[in-house]
Amino acid sequence: MPRDKTFSHEKIVKAAMQEFQEKGFEQASMKAVADAVGMTSAALYRHFTSKQDMFAALVQPAVDELNAWKERHVASSYDALYQETPESMWDFENELNDVRMVLDVMYRRPEAFRLLICCSAGTPYENYVHDLTEQSVDEMMRFLQSSKERGIPVREIQRDEMHMLISAYNTALLEPIVHGYHKADAERYLKTMLDFFTPGWRMITGL
């Protein structure tokens, strides 16, 4: 009877996830993954051409999902601005609120996002959190300029100041993933976090 290749691949993915989480990318070993699933290294390389290829297979779907969410989030923010419904931006239950990014996107693939955040040194993803912050800073600066052009009393703020604020904000947002909180605990934590940060964001945006 032929071996079930799909089952073998699933076992490899599970073993690879564990190997990268325990050791990080740089110290992880293809041989250790092969040993964990009871196959030779040569057989493993028929599934993944390299350690980089294996890591990317684990995290890239998560990156793609988050990028798609971010596009919707940015569009939603401008909709709230143009339609003069800013209250929706601060609603914890709004599907495009920042905390929903964690609860509705990251918690679908928490292990993959933990790899991105904590275990990606030595890969093309090692600056993922920094790059995410830089993108958010650029988006926020553009949003503030659009708000200003509409006569909204935004607070004047330099880009480096915005970087510090969003860096602190993103660090707080990602803590449940970093520490492996259960989703229910993460939701309670993020609600408290949002209550804390929202007055500051409203002060800066004038909304």
pLDDT in tens, 156-201: 999 999 999 999 999 999 999 999 999 999 999 999 999 999 999 9
54 domain-assigned = no
The whole-number pLDDT of residue 7 equals: 57
With respect to residue 154, please indicate whether it lies within any of the assigned structural domains: yes
Q: Is residue 110 part of a domain?
A: yes
* 89-115 pLDDT per residue, tens: 888 888 888 999 999 999 999 999 999
**17 and 99 co-located in one domain:** no
Over 90: is that where the pLDDT of 4 sits?
Answer: no
Phi, psi of 180 (to 5 degrees): 70, 35
Question: Residues 11, 72: one domain?
Answer: no
> Are both 122 and 181 inside the same structural domain?
yes
- Same-domain check for residues 45 and 131: no
Q: Count CB-CB contacts under 10 A for residue 17.
A: 20
Residues 39 and 64 reside in one and the same domain = no
Q: Is the pTM of this model over 0.85?
A: yes
Same domain, 109 and 180: yes
| Residue that terminates a domain, selected from 49, 67, 88 | 49
Number of domains in the chain: 2
Angle formed by the axes of helices 128-149 and 183-205, nearest 10°:
40
Give the domain range for residue 65.
59-205
Q: Given a cut of 90, is residue 203 above it in pLDDT?
A: yes
Q: Output the DSSP codes for 142-159.
A: HHHHHHHHTT--PPP--H
Both 77 and 168 in one domain: the answer is yes
Question: Residue 22's domain is classified under what CATH number?
Answer: 1.10.10.60
Same domain for 127 and 36:
no
Same domain, 71 and 118: yes
pLDDT number for residue 85? 81
- Please report which confidence band the pLDDT of residue 1 belongs to, taking 50, 70 and 90 as the band edges: very low
Dihedral sign (CA 122, 126, 191, 95): negative
Cβ–Cβ under 8 Å, residues 176 and 186: yes
Looking at the structure, tell me whether residues 124 and 168 fall in a common domain: yes
* 85 and 9 fall within a common domain: no
